[in-house]
A = this chain, B = another copy of it.
Amino acid sequence: MRILNTIDDGFSQAFKEVLNRGEVDASDVIPKVLEILRSVRDKKTQAILQQVSQFDNWEPKTFQDLEISQDMCKKAYERLDKQKKEALHQAYERIYAFHSKQKQKSWMDFEANGNILGQKVTPLDRAGLYIPGGRAFYPSSLLMNAIPAIVAGVKEIVVCSPVPYNQPNELFLAGLYLCNITKAYKVGGASAVGMMAYGLEDFKKVDVITGPGNIFVAMAKKLVFGEVMIDMIAGPSEILIIADKNANANFIANDLLSQAEHDEMASSILLTDDKNLIVEVQKQIDKILPTLPRYQIAKKSIEDRGLMILCRDLKECIALSNELAPEHLELLITNPLAYLADIKHCGAIFIGTYAPEAIGDYVAGPNHTLPTGGSAKFFSPLGVEHFMKKSSIIYCTKDGFEEIAESAQILANIEGLEAHRNSIEVRRSKE
């Protein structure tokens, strides 16, 4: 694992490369994605059928062939053993409870002059969840995308997921049943994003598309932003752990590896003020790594993108962490509250010995769909807010109107908009 020291000469340059970890050269991908999207928009169902047969190795003949039957979902759910069912239900309930607390209320504010100003918060009509499929299907992804939409009150939730060889994953089917999603389609990649953004003959466009995916899905989401709402553009997963000398090196090593096993491109980073901890963590990693079933992936991730940085003090750790804006941030330090206010940018903060990232991936309650690659500087975790939107409310009394009419007319005049000025003037005239 690579080790840096902030007092070393080359540190700034080396750190800059880590900062740029989110940079993706998508110049090859964009034209291909544009072509797929254009084809879906113009040829609709015909394009989707052709693309599914091209990418997923089976031959759907009609749009109905792409629908997942509710009966199959129910049966898959019933086949689940009790232990798995209970784990999924506990996850569902805790995620539901947390997201319920996020839900914003409409509000009104009353002015002395009688004017009423406010904001009405309304669920979106129709949400499209993209869930990666095949061998990489994770039931937790389905729960984390579906539950905020359910809490928001979205009436129609649809799911798209690629199903290679037309062999749906049992857990995917069971998860659909658990989330009570009755509209799911065996369509993946940029095709699915296009289908949800533009609609087909028998499929109405959605209002928001959320969910993780590969570079094709990410670029397609970027390109349809504006036609629909998009949650975020996600890249490889990452963890940053800030630990002091009291932290448990074994826990840290396990947490770093839990990130590394996701993806060769995943980043696992430790920041500490304790030189000895770095040595200990390295030892633990060397011990655990060879025992992992996903050894090859984790090894490549740790070698290429793993990093331990020795800092002058915890304050410096926090400052570097804010610059990196990691997806997951673990605080394994003696007095985390002393630093919490200074933590500005990250997707989620895991505090203390008993909050490993993996607990947040599944059952803690907050969403595991988090901004990556530094985009935690501006994106928020997936949440109920992505499935709701606001409308301003403006009501004026005659008195309240008169109090502000003059200024509005002056400003309309400044901007050379006479009809704007008129629409105020006519209401001021005595009738």
Interface, chain A (partner B; CB < 8 A): 27, 30, 34, 38, 83-84, 86-88, 90-91, 94, 98, 101-102, 104, 107, 109, 115-117, 119-120, 122, 124-125, 138-140, 171, 207-208, 218, 222-223, 225-226, 228-230, 232-233, 250-251, 254-255, 257-258, 260-262, 288, 292-294, 298, 329, 336, 340, 343-367, 370, 375-381, 383, 385, 389-398, 400-401, 404-408, 410-412, 414-424, 426-427
Contact = CB atoms under 8 A, between A and B. Distances in A.
Given A226-B218, A375-B226, A426-B251, A348 B393 contact: yes
A104 B392 CA distance: 16
A358 B98 CA distance: 41
Contact of A363 (B119, B207, B381, B404): B404
Contacts of A419: 254, 257-258, 260-261, 288, 292, 294, 298
Given A138-B415, A251-B423, A356-B424, A392 B366 contact: yes
Given A359-B408, A408-B358, A229 B378 contact: yes
Nearest to A232: B226
B354 A397 contact: yes
A392 B109 CA distance: 29
Contacts of A389: 376-380
Given A418-B292, A423-B254, A378 B207 contact: yes
A418 B360 CA distance: 16
Contacts of A393: 348-349, 351, 366
Nearest to A387: B378
B378 A124 contact: yes
B362 A412 contact: yes
B294 A427 contact: no
Q: What copy number does this chain have within its complex? A: 2
Contact of A395 (B232, B351, B395, B411): B351
Query: Which 4 A-B pairs give the minimum distances between C-beta atoms?
Result: A226-B233, A366-B392, A354-B401, A348-B392
A391 B348 contact: yes
A400 B101 contact: no
B222 A343 contact: no
Nearest to A207: B378
Nearest to A257: B419
Nearest to A205: B377
Contacts of A83: 410
B139 A250 contact: no
Contacts of A356: 423-424, 427
A427 B223 contact: no
Contacts of A230: 225
Given A356-B423, A423-B254, A427-B251, A365 B260 contact: no
Contact of A401 (B120, B355, B361): B355
Contact of A117 (B98, B139, B222, B379): B98
Contacts of A98: 109, 117
A272 B272 CA distance: 67
A258 B420 contact: yes
A262 to B, nearest CB: 8
Contacts of A400: 354
B345 A396 contact: no
Contact of A225 (B34, B207, B222, B420): B222
A91 B408 CA distance: 8
